[in-house]
Structure 1
Amino acid sequence: MAVTIATSLSSTVKLNDGVDMPLFGLGTFRCESGANKEAENAVVSAIQLGYRYIDTAVLYGNEEDVGRGIKRSGVKREDIFVTTKVWDDCHGYDECKKSFQASFKRLDCGYVDQLLIHSPNGGRNVEMYKAMLEFKQQGLVRSVGVSNFGIHHIQGLLDAGMPTPSVNQIEFHPWMKRPKLVDFCREKNIVVVGYCPIVRQQKFDDPDVVRLSKMLNKSPGQILIRYSVQMGIITIPKSGNPKRIKENAEVFDWEIPQEGMDSLNSKEESGITWDPCSSSNPWLG
């Protein structure tokens, strides 16, 4: 598949199911739910800044806040792309149906643009996928995909006769590029969505990141986010801070020079910040 690189917050890519998906979005992992309204306010700030893709999950505990934020934003629902995910403890046909019905009620936004299996770790992926496809047939979900799947997990769905997932959402940054997995997804026309682009700030002191930050007059976080964008990955930096949400999106009117990309691409594969399937190391396929 041809790789599309985002040129603005409004850039989109057409998925293998015909759905148009924004190439940049807001991740809401660890955005708090409740009285302080961190998650809700983050969604409002992001959408009003021009973000059109919001990523949440059952695991994050903030689906209701995301739904409220979408309503408060003042932007039409059809202009927002919402992704949520079914967690490991709800694998299986009936379990998945019950989980999504609860998510649908919490989000309260009419439909879900994309539903993902959060990780293959719960097993019974085929049964779960069948339930998700039924939601799509009913018009409750527009696109069905996976997250944290290795090559053999995706191949297992395909071997069972399931339609090709629209996306595979994985951790992606210079220390976890996963070339075999990314190439496999692209060969199968599966779009790669990358979370954790700034590696939870663990690599801000990397000499190349520091050098590029000074040379381009950009923050370390912006360097790493721009790297992901330039690699043709849908990028979803997470933040609950409106100032940081704005800064994270200021990555479209400049580029990392080729020598800088080469230096970041030379980093050894390491730095997984969360591996739901550590016993089988699925990222190498």
Structure 2
Amino acid sequence: MVSTINQPYTTLSNGIEMPLLGLGVYDMHGAEAEQAVQDALETGYRLFDTASLYENENEIGNALRNSNIARADVFVTTKLGNVDHGYDATLRAFEKSLEKLQMDYVDLYLIHWPVKGQRKESWKALEKLYNDKRVKAIGVANYLVEFLDELESYAFIIPMLNQVEFTPWLFQGELLQYCQNRNIQLQSYSPLTRGLKLGDPRLIALAEKYDRSPAQIVLRWNIEHGISTIPKSVSKKRLQENFGSLNFKLTADDVAFMDTFNENFRICDNPMEML
């Protein structure tokens, strides 16, 4: 059954519209990955985030191609792998991703990690792909303020999006403000901390207050901040639960309260190690 919940969209700096809530497909493979995408489409998801590193672009492409949803109605993100940095290598890697996805274009192409010594050449290649209209938008992932400052020194095109680990327990307020000031859409991955923080008593109390699940409270916190978010799940029930974060609101006071949860807790590597 298709959800009747209205999917909120954000407008990127170049005018392209992107759903605020999507499905991250890290560590999904084979039939499981295709089924998750199918279930997500039926639930109402229209944003799908993959990467060459995930080694599942084939499955994601198959699921989208075999659905009854028009290509123009879904937003597909993929990313440059760490071993493919450099100008020419980036262009070749992009072609491989397109081939695996079985698509003529992707909606958003990101530099997955700020690999030392090759960031500039890789970004120049993304600018070419954008200018050649091979992608609708370009951006980066795991770029902290230091990396964004560096990029600004040589970029002709400011990234439209920055995807980072961002949760109430890793509240990167300075980075959020930086991106908002430059009209760079922030997007959070691993927003649910792979479940490790969903038992936080403060979060449980909020979940009881709103009669929602802890996961829905966290996803709604992202949305209230205007942050796009891409939780991963292969469970149809969880996909529907996560999508239900779109049909209620948190008070400004409760959003601010959750901002105080920060303890610099990371699931993934700290990008600062790549400086």
- Could you say whether these structures have the same fold, taking a TM-score greater than 0.5 normalized by the shorter chain as the test? yes
Aligned length: 271
Which residue in 2 is equivalent to 1:4?
Answer: none
Q: Alpha-carbon deviation of 1:72? A: 2.0
* Matched ranges for 1:38-49 at <5 A: 38-49=32-43
Pick closer, same or farther for the CA change 1:259–1:137 going to 2, 3 Å.
closer
Corresponding residue of 2:22 = 25
CA distance in 2, matches of 1:92, 1:219: 44
2:144 is aligned with 1:147: no
Distance 2:16 2:150 in 1: 24
Name 2:236's counterpart in structure 1: 242
Q: Equivalents in 1 of 2:90, 2:110: separation in Å?
A: 11
- CA drift of 1:69 comes to 1.0
Secondary structure of 1:240's counterpart equals coil
Verify: 1:223 aligned to 2:217, yes or no: yes
- 1:193 counterpart SS class: strand
Question: Which ranges of structure 2 fall in alignment gaps of 5 or more residues?
Answer: none
CA shift, 1:131, in A, is 1.1
Q: C-alpha displacement at 1:276, in angstroms?
A: 4.8
User: How many Å separate the matches in 2 of 1:121 and 1:211?
Assistant: 41
TM-score, normalised with respect to structure 1: 0.90
**For the Cα contact (< 8 Å) 1:44–1:73, is it kept in 2?**
yes
Does residue 186 of the first structure (1) align with residue 183 of the second (2)?
no
Task: Judge which range, 253-262 or 208-217, deviates more.
Answer: 253-262
Task: Pick one of 60, 81, 88 that aligns with 1:87.
Answer: 81
Corresponding position of 1:157: 151
| Aligned-residue offset at 1:259 | 4.0
Pair 1:277-2:271 in alignment: yes
Counterpart amino acid of 2:59?
D
What is the CA–CA distance in structure 2 between the aligned matches of 1:237 and 1:243, rounded to whole Å? 13
Partner of 2:196 in structure 1? 202
What SS does structure 1 have at the residue aligned with 2:244? coil
Secondary structure, in 3 states, of the residue corresponding to 1:267?
coil
Give RMSD over aligned pairs: 1.6
Letter in 2 for 1:248: N
In the alignment, the residues of structure 1 paired with residue 60 and residue 168 of structure 2 have an alpha-carbon distance, to the nearest angstrom, of 29
Q: Is the 8 A contact 1:9 1:23 kept in 2?
A: no
Structure 1 equivalent of residue 13 of structure 2: 16
CA 1:119 to 1:276, structure 2 compared with 1: closer, same or farther past 3 Å? farther
Read off the aligned partner of 1:103 and give its amino acid letter: S
How far is 1:121 from its partner? Answer: 2.7
Aligned-pair identity in percent equals 34
TM-score between both structures, scaled by the size of structure 2: 0.93
1:3 maps to what in 2? none
Query: Deviation at 1:226?
Result: 1.2
The Cα shift of 1:236 comes to: 1.0
Q: 1:63 aligns with which of 51, 57, 74?
A: 57
Q: Are 2:139 and 2:161, in contact at CA under 8 Å, matched by a contact in 1?
A: yes
Paired residues of 1:9 and 1:22 also in contact (CA < 8 A): no
Contact 1:55 1:83 in 2 (8 A): yes
Contact persistence 1:24–1:53 (CA under 8 A): yes
C-alpha contact (below 8 Å) 2:40/2:236 kept by paired residues = yes
Residue pair 2:165, 2:191 contacting (<8 A) in 1 also? yes
CA shift for structure 1 position 278: 4.5
Distance 1:161 1:133 in 2: 8
Which letter does structure 2 place at the counterpart of 1:212? L
- Shift of the 260–149 alpha-carbon distance from structure 1 to 2, 3 Å rule, reads same
Give the Cα separation in 2 of the matches to 1:126 and 1:136.
15
Q: Distance in 1 between matches of 2:271 and 2:229?
A: 22
